[in-house]
Each structure stands twice: as structure tokens, then as C-alpha cells.
Amino acid sequence: MTASLKMRAHVTGAVLAAFALRLYFVWRFPFYEAGDTPIYQQLAHNWLRHGIYGLKIAGRLTPVDIRVPGYPAFLAAIYIFFGETARAVMVAQAFVGVLTCFLVAAMAAVLAPKESRRRVALAALWLTALCPFTANYTAVVLTETLTIFLSTLALLVLMEALRLSQAKDVVAQTEASFRMPWLLGGMVVGFGTLVRPETPLILAAAGAVLVALWWRPRNWPRLLHTGTLLAVGLILPLLPWAARNWRVVHTVQFLAPRYTELPGEFTPHGFYAWSGTWLWRFRDVYQVMWNQDGEEIHIEDIPASAFDSPAERARVAALLAAYNEDTDMTPEIDRGFGEIARERTARHPLRTYSIVPLLRCFSMWFTPRVEMLPLSGKLWPVGYWWEDSPSQYCYSLGLFLLGIAYALMALGGAWRVRKDPAALFLVAYIVIRTAFLTTVETPEPRYVLECFPAVFALAAQLWTHKGMTHAESYGEGSAT
């Protein structure tokens, strides 16, 4: 079999495997009860049927800005052709997931030396195609699949822009061939921001790498020029959304409210600050944070690490008892939690600002990721959960080890291409996004899935031909 036929066979096999795995999750494990799903569905329905991007509040259809409009627009487009069925959305997301596999392969090829590009691209294609973590989220009506696609496209465009900027001579930096990739990259990030508002973190990573490359004063004009192009590209897709918010809900809102609150709705900052001094496990997000808005919260569901003394535990119990009377987080109760948060942070600032964020990082990255599957995901204590269900324990353990394997492969691949600015860009994105997510009140494992394309593109570098790295050829023709 010739090399071209082998290549076609590999690509065809990866595409079929990718689509089959995603359809398997759609038909076998569809998930209809995700927390944000009804909101997106209602926004899409009301926008499509009534021409109003809003929700029913107190029995009245009211325009809102609590979610950016990209994903509801995606749902509305599917509803037009296939009706308002979740299965149709999931199948469409399966196709989007397959397209993402090709983008990741292209990212890996950008990093690889010329002689190994096909081999590395195929490795990235297979890694992405067979990843159960990203494939699983095609079977739920949430933003993950579309966000991963747009984030991957943005990363690819900006990687190419970085490569072009290093290959071009300084004199040519005003040419359209230089300007367009940066502007286009900013625009793709802008469209991604209309699906998930934290997508501009991609530009933060690009900015960090550009500053590292062009820190000398003679390169400051290039840095300013490129930053302007990225900013203009980002803002252009957001302008219609911002204009709509100014005209309809009378707020200057380019993204979405920080706490996704409705106009005039109370935000429990004190309660969030208190949770930030101890909460790091997804189980606690499920039992505490998601119950805060209308469900009872039981002191027994809160781990001992949330209390520094029996007296503090009693204070929290009293506040929860007051909240549980009508499940309403009043400003007075919230102030009580805020006071406890300040006291805990004053006693142990390292815990609030370092230990808890690091634990959140560990929890988000190294978890079995079974929240969309009928598995417990519990691994400790081993004897108890093994006895409860050996098969479930094996599945959960296997997924846990798979996540570790992905991380180790990415570290190895990143080391091989460590001198390439495009690789540094991917690493910076993973680090910056993860650091940001540790500050979110509900640190869910799904939030790092947008980093997986970068993980796979880096991991695929392990498939370069022995003794060959892109770093060897990188310096040729680079302009600094």
C-alpha cells in the first residue's frame, strides 16, 4: 500500500471512529438534565418563535443579557431545520466534534518539523477522535462542543500568525499578509466569546507570548500594532451584542454579567467568598453551590475543612438554618458568610490564595469526568467503592488514569518543541485558562475541556521521527 493510501485509510478510520464514538454517547448516554440546558433552550425558543432574546420572568417574556447569544443562535438554527429536539442538537454537535479533530491535527502539524508533519497530524487526529471526555459532551445541550471548536480554530489561526511573524522580515510587517492573520484570529476569538465569555483568555496567552518575543524597545511598534489588530478583531463580532444590550436592557454589556444575574437580582458575594476559602471538589459544587439558589443546604454535606473551629461551624450552621427556612439568601445572611470568609482568609491567607486554587486545579484536571455518565466516579476508599461495584470502579479508575496519561504526554510533547513560540502559546493558554478557572465559584471539570485541543496538539509531538524536533529548524529565518 502506498503512503498516500495509508494516509487516506488512517484519516478515514479516524473520522469514522470519531463520529461513531460521539453517536454512541448521543444514543446510549444522552444527558437532558444539565443545569444550564433549559436556559439555553428557552432563549433559543423565545428568540426563534417570538423574536425576543429573553426568558419568562414573573409570567412575562423579558429581554435578558445573562447569557451571550452564540449558543442559543446555534440551537435556533438547528430548530429551524430539525425541530426543537435535543437529539438533533446532539447529532449536530457530533459533526462539529469531528471537524474539531481536523483542526487539532492542523495545530499539531504547525508545531511539527516538516518531515514528521503527516505522522504527527495523524497522531493528533486519532488522539482527538478517541477522547471520551470531549466526545461525551456532544450528548448534552451545553456550550462545550461549540466552544471547543471555535477555541481550536482561534488557536490554529494565531499559531499560524505567530509563525508568520517570526518568518517575515521586520520591513514587511505592514503588509496585508501579516495583518490579516492577527485580525482574523481576534475575530474568531470574538465569535467564540459570543458562545463562552471567557474565550478572550486565548488573546491573553497570545499577548503574553508576544511580550516575551518583542520585549525590546525596537519591537514595541510591532507589539502595539499587533495588539491593536487583535483588539479590533475581538470587538467587531461583539459590537452587535453590545448595541442590543444598550438599546434593549440599557446596560453597557459586551459579554455577560459576572454572576449571570438578572437585572436587580441579588448576588451573594459573601457566600461566594466563604466558599472560596475551602471549596475545591466538584461534589461540593453539586451539594452546596448549586443548591444555594432555591434548595436547602445541609451542614452535614459540608466538609470539615470548611471550619476552623467548632464555634465557626456553629456560626455556619446558624446561617444555613436561617437560609433553609425559605431557601432565600438574604443580604443579612450573606453578610454573615462574608464576615466568616474575611476571618478565615486573615487567619490563613495562603490557604485562600494558594492551597485552595491548587486543589481546584488538581480537581478540574485529574478527575474521572463521569458527571455525564451513570458512574459514581469514586476512587477512595478503594475497598468500599470496589465492593459497591467493581465494574464501575474499573471504569472510573481507567478514565482517571487516561486523564493523567494525556497530561504526561502533553508535557513530553511540549518539552520537545519548547523553543517554538507557537508551543509556548499553547502552554500559556493552558496555564492562564486554568489559573482563571480556579477563581470561578463553581470550578467544574468541564471548564478545562477547552484546553484539550492544545493538550492533544502538544502530545502528538511525541510522534515526531526520532531525534528530530521543530526547535532545530525554528531559528532559521526568524525575526526578533
* pLDDT value at residue 121: 93
Distance CA 110, CA 426 (A): 12
3-state SS class at 45: helix
Distance CA 288, CA 9 (A): 49
Asked, for residue 212, whether it belongs to a domain, the answer is yes
All cell numbers assigned to 464: 515526531
Distance CA 408, CA 414 (A): 10
> Which residues of the chain are under the pLDDT cut of 50?
169-173, 471-480
How many other C-beta atoms can be found within 10 angstroms of the C-beta atom of residue 337? Answer: 23
Distance CA 172, CA 154 (A): 23
What's the burial of 228, exposed, middle or buried (CB within 10 Å: 0-12/13-18/19+)?
middle
Q: What is the dihedral of CA 149, 151, 157, 159, to 10 degrees?
A: -120
How many other C-beta atoms can be found within 10 angstroms of the C-beta atom of residue 288? Answer: 23
Model-level pTM? Answer: 0.92
Angle at 256 between CA 252 and CA 258, to 5 degrees: 105
Answer whether 69's CB lies under 8 Å from 58's CB: no
Asked, for residue 404, whether it belongs to a domain, the answer is yes
Answer whether 254's CB lies under 8 Å from 238's CB: yes
Question: Per residue in 381-396, pLDDT tens?
Answer: 666 666 667 777 788 8
Asked, for residue 286, whether it belongs to a domain, the answer is no
* pLDDT value at residue 149: 97
* pLDDT value at residue 257: 77
3-state SS class at 248: helix
C-alpha 264, offset from chain centre: 28
Closest by Cα among 118, 119, 121, 127 to 107: 121
The strand pairing partners of 56, in sequence order, are 61
* pLDDT value at residue 386: 66
* pLDDT value at residue 421: 93
Asked, for residue 11, whether it belongs to a domain, the answer is yes
Asked, for residue 318, whether it belongs to a domain, the answer is no
3-state SS of the chain: helix, strand, coil percent to 5? 70, 0, 25
Question: Per residue in 404-446, pLDDT tens?
Answer: 999 999 999 999 998 999 999 999 999 999 999 999 888 889 9
Distance CA 401, CA 311 (A): 40
Give the burial string for 438-448 (b: 16+ CB within 10 Å, else e). Answer: beebbbbbbbb
Asked, for residue 414, whether it belongs to a domain, the answer is yes
Distance CA 357, CA 278 (A): 9
* pLDDT value at residue 309: 93
Domain count, the chain: 1
How many other C-beta atoms can be found within 10 angstroms of the C-beta atom of residue 247? Answer: 9
3-state SS class at 57: strand
Domain that holds residue 443: 3-258+396-471
Asked, for residue 320, whether it belongs to a domain, the answer is no
Asked, for residue 191, whether it belongs to a domain, the answer is yes
* pLDDT value at residue 383: 65
Type of residue numbered 267: T
* pLDDT value at residue 385: 62
